[in-house]
Amino acid sequence: MPAQASGTRPSRASTPDRPGSLPGTGSALPGGRASVPGGRASVPGGGASLFGANTSLPRTTLLTTAPPAARWLIAGAAASVAIVVAAALLRDDTSLAALETAVQTENAPPSDSAPRRPVEAPPSDAVPADELATAKARGVIALEALAARYPKDPAIFRALMERHALPPPYHAAALAAAKRLLELDPGAAGDDDVHRVVSGAAAGPPEVASAALELMASGMGSRGPDLLYDLAAGSSALKDRAARRLGEAAVLEQATPALRIAHELRVSPTCKARQALLQRAAKEGDRRAIDVLSPLLVGKSKGCGFFGTSRCPAPCASIAGDIKQTIQAIEVRAVSDPPAPGAAEAPPDR
């Protein structure tokens, strides 16, 4: 084949490998429409391009050539649309109005005047008296079952505390019941039965004693420090531990002024340090302050002098006059003022 001239480009329609055209010409196939060089040739009367262009067929042809499932889907959609349109056209005005009213009523917010379902009152937390009496007669198991049903009634836990404290006492269970009683009824901290149970638990096994000291320090209000003071001023094995707990700032904050001044007088190391507290003791002190001050005025009958046979002077003889005046002021005030809790008597183990 002769070489093509430089700068020229063969026509797409004249290439011998393109169907529908004669070699070297731009003519279409016989009977077809002529196309310009480089253009597209189309078959007579057809809308299809020879090169795979967009093909358009009649709608009936598309439906007949579609898969059966597609035809059923199209038919179902058309039927649904027809039913909805027919229902809307055939529904009368009365039905439409009733439907709109029902929808508005359903979506409207509740009115204050509309009747409401009454709220049921919660069950009472108090156990009936006859059930409590029956459980007391039956014993611990019945009381514990009743406590499970009425966990917010302090009367049940008081009964459990008293039952566990019967000889031989079960200190751990009695203390647990007392703790729950105090949680439900903080005023029970002033009851003698609670004091007896908690103090008795402090004399129990070590783990129970620790729990009792903790309850005194943090779970009994101002009465807890009173019990700690009684232990610290006594002769029990817990006196040192009780004194340490009583000396904590958080515990002293709960104590009454009478207990605080008694504690400060007791732990003061010298007579001079106690002398600085006497004026406050005269105004705030109670029987416990007197118990601390009185021994400071009494000397020992012997133990001093040559061979320890002479009488010893009072520990704070230098301020004996001030101490006596303070004791008298406390006694006078005690006549007109009711005694502070825990101060009517000296500690029982003194």
- In this predicted structure, what is the pLDDT of residue 100? 55
- In this predicted structure, what is the pLDDT of residue 125? 83
Q: Say how far apart CA 218 and CA 226 lie, in whole Å.
A: 12
Q: Encode the chain (350 residues) as per-residue pLDDT tens digits.
A: 444 444 444 444 444 344 444 344 444 334 444 343 444 434 344 433 433 444 445 555 555 666 777 677 777 777 777 776 665 555 555 554 554 554 454 444 444 444 434 433 345 688 999 999 999 999 999 999 999 999 999 999 999 999 999 999 999 999 999 999 999 999 999 999 999 999 999 999 999 999 999 999 999 999 999 999 999 998 888 999 999 999 999 999 999 999 999 999 999 999 999 999 999 999 999 999 999 999 999 988 777 877 777 888 999 999 999 999 999 999 999 987 765 555 544 433 33
- In this predicted structure, what is the pLDDT of residue 318? 94
| DSSP H helices in the chain | 59-65, 68-90, 93-107, 129-138, 140-149, 154-164, 171-184, 192-202, 206-218, 223-233, 239-246, 249-254, 257-267, 271-275, 278-284, 287-293, 320-336
Running DSSP on this structure, what letter comes out for residue 58? -
- In this predicted structure, what is the pLDDT of residue 91? 53
Running DSSP on this structure, what letter comes out for residue 344? S
Question: How much is the pTM?
Answer: 0.61
| Residue written as token pair 């269970």 | 173
Q: Tokens at residue 246, please?
A: 């009583």
Closest CA to 289 of 218, 228, 229: 229
Q: Tokens at residue 80, please?
A: 């649904």
